[in-house]
Structure 1
Amino acid sequence: MAGEIRREILRLFHERPEDYISGAEISQSLGVSRTAVWKHIRQLRDAGYAIEAVTSRGYRLETAPDLLLAADIQAGLACKRIGRDMVCLESTDSTNLRALELAEQGGTDGTVLIAEEQTGGKGRLGRRWESPRGVNLYASLLLRPAIAPFVAPQLTFVAALAVVEAIAETTSLSANVKWPNDVLLNGCKVSGILSEMRAESDRVHYVILGVGVNLNMTRKQFPSELRYPATSLLIESGQTVPRSAFVRSFLQRFEAHYDAFLAEGFDAVRPAWDACCAMVGQRVRVEQEPHTIVGEVVGLDEDGSLLVRDDHGKLQNIYAGDVFPE
């Protein structure tokens, strides 16, 4: 209950960023006493929110801490289900592991789990995902879609598209998608998506979408031995990205595409994905141990596989492997 009241106070501040809001108005709007309002304002200040108080005028939010707090994110979130339930952690080994536990415990569809830091973050094929504290987005979405199991991997493309659009909205940078699960800026990886699922032959119990986005990492924070060149929004734009605003943008974009995907299938998002895929028309090398395929990317097939026309003119459906520019 206390967390809900603080979230609603922040929502009022987000809706009227330039206004002073009186304690009486907050009290009446939330159905609590003015003394309770004052106590919650004090707790928000203790959490790092700079809230100005002026006699006879009320309260105004001046600045918010660069912390990913559920109350702050949800206060301005225009989603019906994605992120309505949210867990924000200071540190965890892996948000996907915690989300998997939550799913097994009956966690609701659309629950979002976020961490300031991951000590064991992982990417595709079990590769390590660098996850320093307080600079990026490390999130996992718990979904319970009524879809066939073979369709579930396509949700990776939905998430990638939402990341591209959130980047454009918060920084004006134009990102590209790289099959199957990466987002690139100027040819360098800025985001990766990892999907995990529990299903039976005919139905999905749940899907966990892990989303990592390098927001405010500096060049020095990247390890030198990365398999693929990496970057961050800070490096590319020269400006610090407000992380809570980015999370809200991503979740709202994801929900819109997710709803369309559930209603209309993969065709609802495939054209948009193709449009922001820099690989289409490019020559690539696909490494599939022990084989390598070289050819030109045609686009996505209806099942989400990558279509590559090899050097012998044969159209190949790529379902797994590492793809590199040739």
Structure 2
Amino acid sequence: MNDTLLACFQAAPGEYVSGEKLSRELGISRTAVWKRIRRLEESGYRFESVPRLGYKLIGYPDRLRPEELLPRLAGTRFGASVKLYDSLESTQNAAYEALVHGAGEGALIVADAQTSGRGRLGRHWFSPPGKGIYMSFLLQPNVPLARAPQMTLLLSVAMCRAIRRSIGADATIKWPNDILIGGRKVCGILVETILEADAVKAMIAGIGVSANVGRDEFPEALRPIATSLMEAAGARVSREAVIGEFFEQFEALYELYRSDGFEPVKTLWEALSSTLHGRVRVNTPQGVAEGVAEGITTEGALLVRDDAGVVHTMYSGDLSAPAVSLPT
């Protein structure tokens, strides 16, 4: 029915189409037509409405363009198997299904919208259509389980560098999985490890970036803590260019990681971190540690020295500055 509705507008470009005509064409009430228009607006279409004239289609969703994206991935391990979707429940779920059906390292899933995008600990990721980068891809790094947390830090470095190169913003990394601009979150990273006989079979790396989200488009609860690439750059950004830059950075770092280990990545992470050398509070299932973030281990764990001089090794948790909540 949405296709039929859009076809009515496409047959009359730049013109108003009356609610009565739309009602007749679709065989539904004018109230139902209005509800359909609202749903299309939620998907990124833009309409003007004038009493007695009807509706005019004035804008389309900003969809990712394969002809712009695929050439940027050509020659990389992530350009061989790319699937683009208008909308998915979750790119993580789709990537897992691809793995189950035999997809290998490099398989990439990208969506223009997610209806149930998720971050760490099952939290919801705001995924409006045409406004962000929502993608997941498969990795098979052949590392022991103890080294699995390193991948989140490697991905963080790649995305931080990609944002800096793409829009010139002073992006930083908040342990363990957030990219910040001006102290507000612009990107979240989720790595899910698939085990087979207690060994790492594969990793599903998920990345969500608020690309062209306006300040008033964020849910009210997110406005104090979230930002977008567009807000930082002062203009709309090319999502295809950011994705291409990310995979250029990631592939180089991934090869370095596979040949030289985590130490070079650790050095880069520390240089880009907004977490180190400041006071933090880390909430974990085992309790809360508060103190100064002194560094990370070779496994990617955060080292926090409390006021008694005891160093706590934090492998996961929610990090915030003392007395200030910054949920991830």
Equivalent residue, structure 1, for 2:25: none
Contact 1:282–1:297 under 8 Å retained in 2: yes
Matched residues in 1 for 2:276 and 2:153: separation?
15
Alpha-carbon offset, residue 145 of structure 1: 1.7
Matches within 5 A, 1:277-296: 277-289=273-285, 291-296=287-292
Counterpart of 1:118 in structure 2 is 114
Q: Distance in 2 between matches of 1:201 and 1:149?
A: 11
Once the two structures are TM-superposed, the CA of residue 320 in structure 1 deviates from its matched residue by 1.8
2:85/2:110 contact within 8 Å kept: yes
Matched, 1:253 2:287: no
* TM-score (normalizing by structure 1): 0.77
SS at structure 1 position matched to 2:304:
strand
Counterparts of residues 1-326 of structure 1 (less than 5 Å): 66-77=62-73, 79-201=75-197, 203-226=199-222, 229-289=225-285, 291-326=287-322
- In the TM superposition, residue 254 of structure 1 has moved relative to its aligned partner by 0.8
More displaced, 186-195 or 141-150? 141-150
- Runs of 4+ in structure 1 deviating by more than 6 angstroms, as ranges, are none
Per the TM alignment, residue 225 of structure 1 is displaced from its structure 2 partner at its CA by: 2.4
Q: 1:257: Cα distance to partner?
A: 0.8
Size of the aligned set, in residue pairs, is 262
Q: Structure 2 vs 1, CA of residues 201 and 313 (structure 1 numbering), >3 Å: closer, same or farther?
A: farther
Q: How far 1:69 sits from its partner (Å)?
A: 3.3
1:314–1:228 distance in 2 versus 1, CA, 3 Å: farther
Alpha carbons 1:168, 1:175 under 8 Å: kept: yes
Q: Is the 8 A contact 1:74 1:84 kept in 2?
A: no
Q: TM-score, normalised by structure 2?
A: 0.76
Deviates more, 1:78-87 or 1:108-117: 78-87
- Whether contact under 8 Å (1:171, 1:237) holds in the other structure is yes
2:39 corresponding residue in structure 1: none
Q: Structure 1 305/86 Cα, relative in aligned 2: closer, same or farther at 3 Å?
A: same
CA distance in 2, matches of 1:132, 1:257: 30
Distance 1:268 1:84, change over 3 A: farther
Q: Deviations over 1:77-130 (max 9, x none)?
A: 354312321111000000000000001111121111100000000010001000
Give, as a single letter, the amino acid of the residue that structure 2 aligns with 1:72: E
1:79 and 1:251 in contact (8 A); partners too: no
SS in 2 for 1:114: strand
Distance in 2 (alpha carbons) for counterparts of 1:135 and 1:227: 15
Could you list the runs of 5+ residues in structure 1 that have no partner in the other structure?
1-64
Deviation at residue 226 of structure 1 after TM alignment: 3.6
